[in-house]
Structure 1
Amino acid sequence: MSKKILGLDIRYDSVSAVLVKNNIRENFIEAHEYVPITDQKDLESIISYSLDIITKKMDVTGSVCIASFPSDRISYRNIQVPFKNRKKIRQILPFELETTLPFKVENLVIDFDTLTSGDRNDLIVAAVEKAGIQLYLNKLKSFNIDPKIITVGGSATALCLASLADTPDNFLFVDTGNEKSAVFIVKSGQLYYIRSFRINSVNSSKIESFCKNIKRAISAFEEIFHLDFQPDLIITTGNGIGTSGFEKEMENILGISVRQADLFADTSVQIKNHPKNSWKPEKMDNAFALSLVELKRLNSLNFINDSFSLKKYWEENKKGLFITGCLASLVLATSFSNVIVNTYLMEKKLSGVEQKITDLFKTTFPDVKNIVDPLHQMRVGIEKANKSSLSQGETHRDIRAIDILNEISRLIPEEIDVEVTKFVFGAENVILTGNTDTFNSVNIIKSKLEQVEFFKQVVISSADVDKSENRVRFNLQIKL
Structure 2
Amino acid sequence: MSRQILSIDIRNNSIAAVVLNTGLKSSTIEACAQISLPEDIPEENRLGAGLAALLQHGIPSNATVVASLPADRTIYRTVLVPFKEEKKIRQVLPFELEPNLPIAVDELVIDFQRNSDQGKTGLLTTAIDRHYLEYIMAAMTAANMRPQLVMPGDFPLALYLTAYCGKTDERAILLNVGTRRTTLFALKDKSIALVRSLASDVASEAGVEALALKIRQTLTAFADSDPDGFTPKTLHLSGPALNAGASARLAKALDLPPQAVDLRPSAPKLDAATLSDQWHPYIFDNALAMALIEAEGRPCPTFHRSSSPVRKYWTTYRPYIRGPAVLLAVVLLLSLAGVLLESHLLKKSVDQVNAKAEALFAATFPQSRRVGGDVLEQMKSELKKAKSNSIDPGQTVPEVRTIDILFQLSQLIPKEVDVVFSRLVLGNDGLTLSGETAAFNIVDDVKGRLEKSDLFKQVTIASADMDKGGNKVHFKLKIDL
Normalising TM by the smaller chain, what interval? 0.5 to 0.7
Counterpart-to-counterpart distance in 1, 2:225 and 2:307: 31
How far did residue 67 of structure 1 move? 0.6
Do the aligned partners of residues 201 and 20 (structure 1) sit closer, same or farther apart at CA in structure 2, a change above 3 Å counting? Answer: closer
The residue correspondences of 1:257-336 to structure 2 (distance < 5 A) are 257-271=257-271, 273-304=273-304, 307=307, 314-319=314-319
The Cα of 1:249 is off from its aligned counterpart by 1.6
Q: Are the counterparts in 2 of residues 149 and 307 from structure 1 also a CA contact under 8 Å? A: no
- What is the aligned partner in structure 1 of residue 129 from structure 2? 129
1:78·1:224 contact (CA, 8 Å) conserved in 2? Answer: no
1:202 to 1:46, Cα distance in 2 relative to 1, 3 A: same
> Is the 8 Å Cα contact of residues 44 and 136 (structure 1) preserved in structure 2?
no
Alpha-carbon distance between aligned partners in 1 of 2:235 and 2:245, rounded to the nearest angstrom: 14
Q: Is 1:179–1:198's contact at 8 Å kept on the other side of the alignment?
A: yes
Say whether 1:232 aligns with 2:258: no
In structure 2, relative to structure 1, the CA distance for the partners of 1:123 and 1:311 (3 Å cut) is farther
Aligned to 2:116: 116
Residues 10, 70 of structure 1: 8 Å contact kept = yes
User: Compared with structure 1, are the counterparts of its residues 181 and 290 closer, same or farther at alpha carbon in structure 2 (3 Å cutoff)?
Assistant: same
Is contact 1:7–1:67 with CA below 8 Å preserved after alignment?
yes
1:12 and 1:41 in contact (8 A); partners too: no
> Structure 2 matches for 1:208-247, cutoff 5 A?
208-240=209-241, 244-247=244-247
**Which residue of the partner structure matches residue 184 of structure 2?**
183
Query: What is aligned with 1:398?
Result: none
**CA separation in 1, counterparts of 2:59 and 2:202?**
38
The aligned residue for residue 4 of structure 1 is 4
- Contact between 1:84 and 1:121, CA under 8 Å: does it hold in 2? no
Aligned residues of 1:235 and 1:259 also touching (Cα < 8 A): yes
Deviates more, 1:148-157 or 1:17-26: 17-26
Could you say what secondary structure the match of 2:116 adopts? strand
Q: CA offsets per residue over residues 393-424 of structure 1, 9 Å max, x none?
A: xxxxxxxxxxxxxxxxxxxxxxxxxxxxxxxx
- CA shift, 1:126, in A, is 0.7
Q: Post-superposition shift, 1:157?
A: 0.7
Provide the rounded CA distance (Å) in 1 between the counterparts of 2:324 and 2:138.
35
Give 1 or 2 for the bigger CA radius of gyration. Answer: 2
One-letter amino acid of the structure 2 residue matched with residue 173 of structure 1 = L
- The DSSP-based 3-state class of the residue aligned with 1:210 is helix
TM-score, L = length of structure 2:
0.62
Alpha-carbon spacing, 1:197–1:272, altered in 2? closer, same or farther (3 Å): closer
Which amino acid letter does the alignment assign opposite residue 224 of structure 2? E
1:131: how far off?
0.4
Q: Give the whole-Å Cα distance in 2 for the aligned partners of 1:180 and 1:41.
A: 22
1:194 matched to 2:195? The reply is yes
Partners in 1 of 2:119 and 2:217 — Cα distance?
27
CA distance in 1, matches of 2:232, 2:278: 33
Distance in 2, matches of 1:133 and 1:28, equals: 30
Letter in 1 for 2:250: M
CA positional deviation for 1:299: 1.1
Distance (Å, rounded) in 2 between the aligned partners of 1:313 and 1:186: 32
2:76 and 2:125 in contact (8 A); partners too: yes
Residue identity opposite 1:228 in structure 2:
G
| Residues 163 and 21 (structure 1), Cα distance of their counterparts in 2 relative to 1, 3 Å cut | same
Letter in 2 for 1:181: T
**Relative to structure 2, which stretch is displaced further, 220-229 or 125-134?**
220-229
Q: Within 5 Å, which residues of 2 pair with 1:90-101?
A: 90-101=90-101
Partners of 1:139 and 1:112 in 2: CA distance? 25
Aligned residues: 324
CA distance in 1, matches of 2:42, 2:176: 20
The yes-or-no answer on 1:155 pairing with 2:155 is: yes
Which stretch of the first structure deviates more once superposed, 121-130 or 39-48? 39-48
The corresponding residue for 2:26 is 26
**Inter-partner Cα distance in structure 2 for 1:222 and 1:122:** 15
Contact 1:12 1:46 in 2 (8 A): no
Letter matched to residue 236 of structure 1: L
* 2:156 partner amino acid: A
Give CA deviations for 1:42-72 in whole Å, capped at 9, x if unaligned: 7643322221111122242331111101111
> Which residue identity is paired with 1:2?
S
> Against the structure 1 CA distance between its residues 96 and 29, is the aligned structure 2 distance closer, same or farther, given a 3 Å change threshold?
same
* Pair 222,309 (structure 1): closer, same or farther in 2 beyond 3 Å: farther
Contact 1:19 1:32 in 2 (8 A): yes
CA RMSD of aligned residues (A): 2.7
Specify whether residues 323 and 256 from structure 1 end up closer, same or farther in structure 2 by C-alpha distance, changes over 3 A only: closer
